[in-house]
Amino acid sequence: MADPVLGWAFVGVGMLAQGVAGVLLRRSLRQLASGARVQGRVVDNVAAMVESSKGAPRRFHFPVLEVDSGRGEPVRFQSQTGRGVPLPVGQSLPVIFDAAYPSLAAEATFRSLWLFPLLTCLAGLPFLLAGLSVLL
């Protein structure tokens, strides 16, 4: 017979991961509900070296996007999603933009909105299922 303490530990880890995924998902849904989808334009790319525990640091490029605020002045922000290659200046990207909170503008792409909640949920699911299978 399997140890129920181990089962509860696995359920706890799985539930914690599902909770974190829920918080990340809620953030994305809130951004979609409060902001309008507009087209942003790449005006620059900021290169940054990102440290890795598995080897040498890698260079990532974070695009700087510009959107029209609706008040005549453009709003610029740096994307939180880095890429291995810089995006061409002038390229158009979908952006979620709330004129009341321009500092919260974000790319409206799968990677920036849905990837991390999905990966967190999928990473915790095996722990949850394994813990439940031990307990049941």
Per-residue pLDDT of the chain (136 residues; tens, 9 = 90+): 578 899 999 999 999 999 999 999 998 898 888 888 889 999 999 999 988 778 888 899 999 999 987 777 888 999 988 899 999 999 999 999 887 887 788 899 898 899 999 999 999 999 999 999 998 8
* Cβ atoms 63, 87 nearer than 8 A: yes
**How far apart are alpha carbons 40 and 31 in whole angstroms?**
16
Host H or E run for residue 22: helix 4-34
Closest CA to 79 of 30, 26, 117, 40: 40
- Output the CA–CA distances (angstroms, integers) from residue 27 to 24, 48, 58, in the order listed: 5, 25, 28
pTM equals: 0.75
